Structure 1
């Protein structure tokens, strides 16, 4: 049974509405808005019937707090002060609909039924959206662009064979995700997947990390230890940033790849291994080979099949799907219920070039969700570094000429209405852009309507 909360300062209204609804819904009532907000924060409610004026408390303020705390709760405003301005504002602040007192019960039931029907349709759209996204996913990778579809096709071709693969692309493009997709979709998926970042481990430790060591092989080696190649036996080893591997280790790696045997430090015994090798780099091998920093014979051994990953700026078609993916991901991790982005925030994100690629996008959305107060990420929640995408018309652009001759009041009216339209009626964003409080904006709009 769906659960409904009624918040109204008139006990008789609470009683009559509860009596009418209790056969169909699980109903609770309160005349105290603070108590109502606390109940909504602590319990699950499907719908709230909210009075626009609760004693001295503005119901619109209560509505905003409900939407900040539980954006999924459907809110229907109930009031004796039915005006066009208040009803429009209530809907813009997140209310589903608006009915006036005295309440017509048929009208109320119709409004509630419409609200729940709308919610079901929204849930279906969300489900279909997720199903559509699955079509453009591969083991954690997301992309409907042709470049990413090519990557998916390459993964399909190499996942069942043991051919060495080299993944190329800028930092943050998801090279390890591709390596994991190849391993966990292939025949070795039940075996170990070992990762070695060749750029992050000091040269003197990288050899022992890769090939292992015997007890006493060097100072501090108090016990024998298997290397990553031995741990990955029958599975896959992912050599990330292979272009940064020290030159003197490259010969030993080449020997391991050729002989399929590994020798621990401090030992003369060779151990056979069966390992699938996937390597990745953000460097140009032509340059490092030409500069004498990388062995050409090792490059050819690793680069049997190459999968190039495009930077995010070259696959902007994938941004909306990636943004939705990270919203869902961080909603779970942060315990949030963010629905998406305002028009202005989305514009900034779509126009950004993302030099840090997918990793940068992930960080931007996570930090923005931490800062977001309501159910939507606003432009003000985005990191300062990417807000440069917001532009204002210059004074010499000729756009101000049409305002010459207007009074200050007329100019203010046009500017407020234009800013409201730009923000799709969202008053909080409009007030921020105008540099005034929401209450001041509300008073100005009210004065314009009189």
Structure 2
């Protein structure tokens, strides 16, 4: 969070102004007051993302201010600082609703780290709120769209499996709605009040994967300045969605298997196993059985994850849902961008029905958004649809008798994919049928910047 609005409450003027200066230099909007009473008065008329208050103040103390702030805006991130840094004070602060605490005297780096951590948590809260809103939209999508037989089958499976704790693996092409199905399973389950944690296994740096998944104790590795809660612990009581699970390394697969077998985990740097209660849903667009045959995925882990498989149908196999999908995305994007909706005509429907949609629902959504933003008052001309007339069918390249320079051709394909994807590396990787990590490796190998 680059421009958080921070209120500092400190009765030592020199200390308060120093904190304000440090945070201002870091790009934050920092205000400073000396008393809790003055801070409360300001908080009643102005919103702050973060409040950093000393415990001991002239007049009312920081604990009183914390209680009052919670009445006004319980989402405010509140940090209590005290020179009396005993465990009892820290426990009392957290019990009373403090988001974090600082023990005085604290260093400049400790202050900045505390505020950066606050920013991450605030961003996560906002993201979760956005996801909840998106979930409501998607739930409406599930409710109103899905008259095709493939989707009716999916809905039936989701409704039947949601109340159970069965481990489920969702397969399907990119953009078919694997995460949407996982969210529906969580929302319809008894765990719906608990966390739904999504982790993209392909986006975790290999050296940090174990700590991200299972957590790490303070000092377990360089930079581990505090105990880290992993995704499994964060999802305790709820659901953990392992997206692109095929991208996990074999060493992490081994540790994941142990966690699934024992329902316990051990943080990096610890010898103490911790019990966990998490429902696991995994997904990938790859064939796990194919990866097992290539010794890239553990067979025993496959059986653990693939207890009940769900296969999401591609859009080309459910074209009867297109009219309702078009209507949904048309209203959604018009509302979001505050522009007139597209005027749906027969030419548009016929073009959409004749297109193979390699990017599935995601591509359909982006296509409607693109047409809407580039159209004149929602009117669509034939030329506006020309980009959909390009064939996306896979063609077999014929090897010339004279041979080819394979490295040169491979280099050219990577550059072309980046151009077609407008620099979006994930989309470029999809165009080539490569995983994101493999594509990044190839770019580095060929010294291609994108």
Q: Distance in 1 between matches of 2:205 and 2:270?
A: 22
Partner of 1:202: 205
Do structure 1's residue 370 and structure 2's residue 373 form an aligned pair?
yes
Q: Tell me the TM-score normalised to structure 1 length.
A: 0.54
1:137 deviates by 6.0
- Asked if the contact 1:167–1:281 (Cα under 8 Å) also holds between the matched residues in 2, the reply is yes
Equivalent positions of 1:90-169 (< 5 A) are 139=142, 142-169=145-172
Structure 1 runs not aligned, ≥5 long = 1-133, 390-450
Q: Distance in 2 between matches of 1:205 and 1:385?
A: 41
1:309 and 2:324 matched: no
Report whether the alignment pairs 1:258 with 2:261: yes
SS of alignment partner, residue 242 of structure 2: strand
Quote the Cα distance in structure 2 between the aligned partners of 1:202 and 1:290. 25
SS in structure 2 of the partner of residue 199 of structure 1: helix
Q: Aligned with 2:265: secondary structure?
A: strand
- Structure 2 residue aligned with 1:182: 185
> How far apart are 1:203 and its partner, in Å?
1.3
Show structure 1 runs of 4+ deviating over 6 A.
none
Within 5 Å, give how 1:357-396 maps onto structure 2.
357-382=360-385, 384-388=386-390
Cα gap change, 1:331 to 1:317, in 2 (>3 Å): same
The aligned counterpart of 2:247 is: 244
- How big is the shift at 1:216? 1.1
Distance 1:272 1:371 in 2: 54
- TM-score normalised by L of structure 2: 0.54
How many pairs does the alignment contain?
254
Aligned-pair CA distance for 1:262: 1.1
- 1:195–1:240 Cα contact (<8 Å) kept: yes
**Separation in 1, partners of 2:342, 2:363:** 21
Structure 2, unmatched stretches of 5+, are: 1-136, 392-450
In 2, Cα distance between equivalents of 1:376 and 1:258: 57
For 1:225, the equivalent position in structure 2 comes to 228
Residue equivalent to 2:195: 192
Farther off after superposition, 370-379 or 236-245: 370-379
Q: Aligned residue for 2:294?
A: 291
How far apart, CA to CA, are the structure 1 residues paired with 2:381 and 2:168? Answer: 42
Return closer, same or farther for 1:334/1:283 CA change in 2, 3 Å cut-off. Answer: same
Aligned equivalents of 2:208 and 2:322: distance in 1?
A: 39
Residue 404 of structure 1 is matched in structure 2 by none
Partner Cα distance (2:317, 2:261) in 1 = 37
Alignment of 1:300 with 2:297, yes or no, is no
Work out whether residues 344 and 378 of structure 1, in 8 Å CA contact, stay in contact via their aligned partners in 2. no
Would you say 1:332 and 2:335 are equivalent positions? yes
Larger Cα-atom Rg: 1
Instruction: Tell me, in whole angstroms, the C-alpha distance in 1 between the residues paired with 2:329 and 2:240.
Output: 28
